[in-house]
Homo-oligomer: A and B are copies of this chain.
Amino acid sequence: MHTYERRVNYYETDRMGVVHHSNYIRYFEEARTHFMEEAGYPYARMEEEGVMSPVTAIACQYKKPVHYPDLIYIRVYLVSMTKFRCAFRYEVADGKTGELRATGTSEHCYLDMSGHIVNIQRQNPVFFETFLKEADGE
């Protein structure tokens, strides 16, 4: 589990006065790449080495709105890590009260730069082992 801290930006709000729901998907990405960096294998390094990891599925459940200029925490869990796929779980919480704001998940595959599916364990065993250790096997 990893925690990422983030202040909400004015331009992320909508005329309902709250953070637009699409931005949570972007917060998930920020939290995920921060997690990878903390784990010692930044996502950018992965792409430099010839592997992309696009999102194959995303989901978010919105509990309570987030307002400008709230501070939020995003907890990231790597819930599964296999040679062809990985999956993350997210919890967005208020920075002051800790109250839950949203939960979500994302699923990812591995592709080479021409878009073909990659067995990440074979292609990049260091990457695979690094994140297998981080996976908390829920």
Does A30 interact with chain B (Cβ within 8 Å)?
yes
Binding site secondary structure of chain A: mixed
> Could you say which of A57-65, A81-89, A123-131 contacts chain B?
A57-65
CA distance A16 to B46 in the complex (A): 13
Contact residue among B23, B57, B69 (Cβ-Cβ distance under 8 Å from A59):
B57
B33 touches A25 (CB 8 A): no
| A111 shortest CB reach to chain B, Å | 9
Task: Give A residues with C-beta under 8 Å from B.
Answer: 9-11, 13-18, 20-23, 25-26, 29-30, 33, 37, 42-44, 52, 54-62, 65, 68-69
> Can you show 18 pairs from A to B with CB atoms below 8 A apart?
A9-B26, A10-B15, A10-B43, A11-B14, A11-B22, A11-B26, A11-B29, A15-B18, A15-B68, A21-B25, A21-B55, A22-B23, A33-B69, A37-B69, A57-B60, A57-B62, A59-B59, A59-B60
